[in-house]
Amino acid sequence: PPHAAPPLMSASTSPPPASTSPVSAPAITAIPNGPQSTGDGLPIEADLAPLVADMRLLVEAAYPPGALEPYDAAWLTDHCLARYLRAREKSVPKAFKMLQETVAWRKSFGVAKLMTGSLDVVIKEGKTGKIVVHGWDKSGRAVIILRPKHQNTKAHDPQMQHLVYSLERVIMNMRKGQEKLVLLLDFAGYSLFNAPSFKTQKETLNILQNHYPERLGQSIMVDAPTLFWASFKMVKPFIDPVTVQKIKFFNSEKYKPGTVARKYMDENFNPSEMMKDYGGDIDYKYNVEEYMKERWIPFYCQGQMEDK
């Protein structure tokens, strides 16, 4: 059927009761290749195709055979190049510069190793469900939910690894014809004790804007408290004006009928594919063992698994 859920992720399946037993890295089970795992969207626009070809020539000149690891070379699809062009207003030089910066970042950060190696850090960071990939909107955009109240760590680097893992996973959860995501930030329980540092906020923004360009379709900020607005004012100058237009703020008001929140969620989400916490019908209870049960391997890493 249209917009069917990927085989290993069902938005309507509730996990078993939480377990207190230790969690180890899951068995390696690659999800099938296809639109759901590449997040490459629809065919590239006709006016962008010649520019993508120009970008491809620059890529081939800068990275001759053997210059990149196989997974980095596989990541450089035409759709990837197109996203960088859109992010830089179709300027080939600017888009290529941005792309080179991302190639260097992905290597230094170790994105492929993160997605194919040990997940101990991700499992530790994700124990409480502070970041969850779950559900889709009506247009098939996969949803990533951030819940600061479940913050369970302080170290910056592991938090960034967890974020990048989650971004790669939400891309794999995109439905056919989609290459954008919905970011839902739930501020319930937000406080000084769980608020991310300015460094973490700035780096999160940097990763989203500069290394995952043209991936954000909508950002939903729910129940943002007064405390948040002070930090938002500091971060806002670093946010691209186009991105600012994608941010929607509203109070949940328990998603009661007639409220702005309920109207927005009803217009943009099917209740059968959204948690009850956000006006949907799914009684979702996060459990790290269930959530990490299957191994999500990006298409560019297929066949590049680290020996276990």
Calculate the average pLDDT of the chain: 87
Q: What is the pLDDT of residues 31-65, one digit of tens each?
A: 443 334 578 888 999 999 999 999 999 999 999 99
Cβ pair 116, 306 in contact under 8 A: yes
pTM, 2 dp: 0.87
Residue entry with tokens 């406080």: 191
Q: What is the pLDDT of residue 265?
A: 96
- CA 235, distance to chain mean position in Å, is 20
- Cα gap 254→272, rounded to integer Å: 18
List CB contacts of 87: < 8 A, sequence separation 6 or more: 95, 98, 213, 214
DSSP state, 40?
-
Closest C-alpha to 48, from 238, 214, 291: 214
Query: Across the 308 residues of the chain, what is the mean pLDDT of every consecutive 10-residue run?
Result: 36 36 44 54 93 98 95 95 97 98 97 95 97 95 96 96 97 91 95 90 95 97 88 86 91 94 96 95 96 92 62
- Cα gap 306→122, rounded to integer Å: 17
Residue 208, token pair as written in the block: 């989203």
Cα distances (angstroms) measured from residue 99 to each of 60, 115, 139: 13, 20, 27
Backbone dihedral region for residue 279 (phi beyond 0: left; psi -120 to 50: alpha; all else: beta): left
Q: What is the pLDDT of residue 305?
A: 57
